[in-house]
């Protein structure tokens, strides 16, 4: 109930000869005990009995509550337009209003929020953005029409991994007493021990892990002899029927990858190299998922041998559905690239792609296994029978559902 109505009722009943207790009992009977307290009724009865006849509160000293005026809103807007980096405290000092009032104007009246600039891999030109759109469009078209399948994609790249793991700043926080000093963490040194690994994987899991010997660098010959040949041998064992036929290699545009030595070797084994847009780590599966995942989960190791062992163990411990889900995210990223006209989109990624918490991962895994079981138990071949003779002429064509195209294993 409005407080002015309550005060008006108190004043009227007082003029009719009722005291504070009687008026309070009537209000409680009509509206319940929470509408007004007895102390408030008694206070207004006393004020109406003396000089106070107005229903409004007495004027109060101090700053008026109407500092959020249109004039102040316009002043804050002008200050922000002149200097987007300006702080709330500085605006409050200039306009002589409180920090909270400035915050309310910025948030509620101007609809602003202060965020840091985001890092991007490269300042893309319009031509490079257009190229990203063209490549993503062509790749998606091939996946959608069935000429490409995710189970035929092999991706890989190189990465340096330090032997000593440095925790994130938030992970280094500890509770200490007032007289205790916090623990220290040594910064990354310029010549700290690290090892380069060349890792390749597909939607069914990891394939080959190559450790680059100390003092060597990767060139086209090394990449062919030590990486591609091992990869091809692994694929032949993994796919005894189709071997390397139909395999599409997806890697970035580093010099060892884009060389005639590599092109000839790939063509010789009936494989194909997918086109990857330049300056696009956001579209490379190793960059946007695998390497970050490994570096977060690996610990500190004294030498490259123990590091390589732990790396291989970590790769093999990743569930198959995580690899499957990452390839699905790759498809989603190509769609996002097209939607954003080739510009970088990772600042919007968490509102669009699949969540990654443990509960939803388990749900995704169960859905995937159910669909996979259904695919294997169902027949997708369409046969034509000669109705007149009652004999089966055998399968004439074979159509695969989009789900089988994405998840089937050769």
Residue holding tokens 């257009």? 130
- C-alpha 148/C-alpha 203 separation (Å) is 13
Arithmetic mean of pLDDT over the chain: 83
265-290 pLDDT per residue, tens: 999 999 999 999 999 999 999 999 99
pLDDT at 62: 59
pLDDT band at 4; cut points 50, 70, 90: confident
Name which of 234, 231, 280, 289 is nearest 254 in CA terms: 280
pLDDT of residue 385: 37
* Cβ atoms of 253 and 93 closer than 8 Å: no
Q: What is the pLDDT of residue 394?
A: 40
CB within 8 Å of 44: residues ≥ 6 apart: 7, 10, 11
pLDDT at 296 over 80: yes
| Distance in angstroms (rounded) separating the CA atoms of residues 252 and 231 | 17
Percent of the chain at pLDDT exceeding 70: 81
Q: Which CATH class is domain 126-167+192-364?
A: alpha beta
Distance CA 315, CA 294 (A): 8
**CA dist list (Å): 107 to 101, 114, 197:** 10, 10, 48
- 170 against 113, higher pLDDT: 113
Tell me: pLDDT of 405 over 60: no
**Residue 402 to residues 150, 310, 352: CA-CA distances in angstroms?**
11, 37, 21
Q: Taking 50 as the threshold, does the pLDDT of residue 386 lie above it?
A: no
* pLDDT at residue 359 is higher than 60: no
Q: Which CATH architecture has domain 3-49?
A: Orthogonal Bundle (1.10)
Angle 14-20-22 from CA coordinates, rounded to 5°:
90
Spatial separation of the C-alpha atoms in residues 77 and 116, rounded to whole Å:
19
Higher pLDDT, 45 or 211: 211
Q: Give residue 59's pLDDT band: very low, low, confident or very high (50, 70, 90).
A: low
**Res 138: pLDDT:** 96
CA distance 237 to 410: 12
CA distance 401 to 408: 10
Cβ proximity of 128 and 343 under 8 Å: no
132 - beta bridge partners? none
pLDDT at 391 over 50: no
Among 18-27, 368-377, 395-404, the minimum mean pLDDT is found in 395-404
Give the residue-averaged pLDDT of 321-330: 95
DSSP-based three-state secondary structure for 382: strand
Confidence of residue 390 (pLDDT cuts 50, 70, 90): very low
- For residues 126 and 220, give the distance between their C-alpha atoms in angstroms, rounded to a whole number: 31
Q: Is 344 exposed, middle or buried (0-12, 13-18, 19+ CB in 10 A)?
A: buried
Using only the alpha carbons of the chain, give its radius of gyration.
Answer: 35
Contact 384, 396 (CB under 8 A): yes
Q: Would you say residue 12 has pLDDT above 80?
A: yes
pLDDT of residue 60: 62
Q: How many CA atoms lie less than 13 Å away from 359 in the CB half-sphere?
A: 0
- Write the DSSP symbol of residue 196: E
Query: What totals of helices (H) and strands (E) does the chain contain, helices first?
Result: 16, 7
Q: Residue 347: is its pLDDT beyond 80?
A: no
Over pLDDT 90: what percentage of the chain? 53
Average the pLDDT over 181-198 and give the result: 88
pLDDT for position 343 = 94
Name the nearest CA neighbour of 3 among 44, 50, 60, 59.
44
pLDDT for res 354:
43
Inter-CA distances, 38 with 9, 72, 313, Å: 14, 41, 73
Q: Which whole number is the average pLDDT over 5-10?
A: 85
The whole-number pLDDT of residue 118 equals 76
Kind of pairing between the strands at 381-386 and 194-202: unpaired
């Amino acid at each position: 109930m409005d407080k002015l109505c309550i005060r008006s009722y108190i004043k009227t009943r007082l003029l009719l000869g009722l005291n504070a207790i009687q008026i309070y009992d009537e209000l409680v009977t009509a509206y319940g005990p929470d509408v007004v307290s007895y102390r408030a009724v008694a206070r207004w009865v006393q004020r109406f009995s003396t000089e106070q006849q107005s229903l409004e509160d007495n004027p109060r000293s101090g700053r008026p509550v109407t500092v959020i005026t249109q004039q102040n809103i316009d002043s804050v807007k002008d200050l922000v337009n002149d200097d987007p980096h300006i702080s709330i405290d500085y605006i409050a000092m200039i306009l002589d209003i409180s920090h909270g009032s400035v915050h309310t104007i910025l948030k509620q009246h101007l609809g602003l929020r202060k965020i840091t600039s985001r890092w991007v891999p490269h300042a893309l030109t319009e031509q490079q953005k257009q190229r990203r759109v063209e490549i993503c469009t062509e790749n998606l078209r091939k996946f959608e029409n069935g000429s490409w399948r995710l189970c035929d994609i092999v991706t890989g790249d190189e990465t340096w991994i330090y032997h000593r793991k440095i925790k994130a700043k938030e992970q280094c926080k500890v509770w200490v007493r007032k007289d205790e000093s916090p623990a220290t963490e040594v910064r990354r040194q310029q010549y700290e021990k690290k090892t380069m690994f060349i890792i390749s994987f597909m939607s069914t899991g990891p394939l080959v892990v190559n450790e680059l010997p100390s003092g060597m660098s990767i060139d086209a010959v090394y990449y062919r002899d030590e990486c591609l040949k091992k990869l091809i041998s692994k694929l032949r064992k993994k796919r005894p029927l189709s071997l390397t036929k139909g395999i599409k290699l997806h890697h970035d545009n580093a010099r060892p990858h884009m060389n005639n030595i590599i092109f000839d070797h790939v063509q010789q084994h009936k494989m194909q190299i997918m086109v990857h847009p330049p300056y696009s780590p956001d579209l490379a599966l190793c960059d946007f998922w695998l390497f970050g995942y490994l570096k977060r989960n690996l610990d500190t190791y004294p030498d490259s041998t123990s590091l390589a062992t732990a790396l291989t163990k970590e790769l093999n411990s990743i569930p198959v559905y995580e690899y499957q889900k990452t390839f699905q995210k790759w498809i989603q990223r190509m769609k996002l690239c097209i939607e954003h006209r080739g510009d970088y989109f990772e600042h919007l990624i968490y509102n669009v792609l699949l969540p990654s918490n443990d509960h939803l991962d388990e749900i995704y895994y169960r859905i995937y296994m159910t669909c996979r079981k259904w695919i294997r138990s169902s027949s997708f071949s369409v046969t034509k029978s000669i109705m007149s003779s009652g004999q089966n002429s055998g399968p004439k064509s074979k159509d695969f559902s989009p789900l089988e195209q994405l998840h089937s294993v050769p």
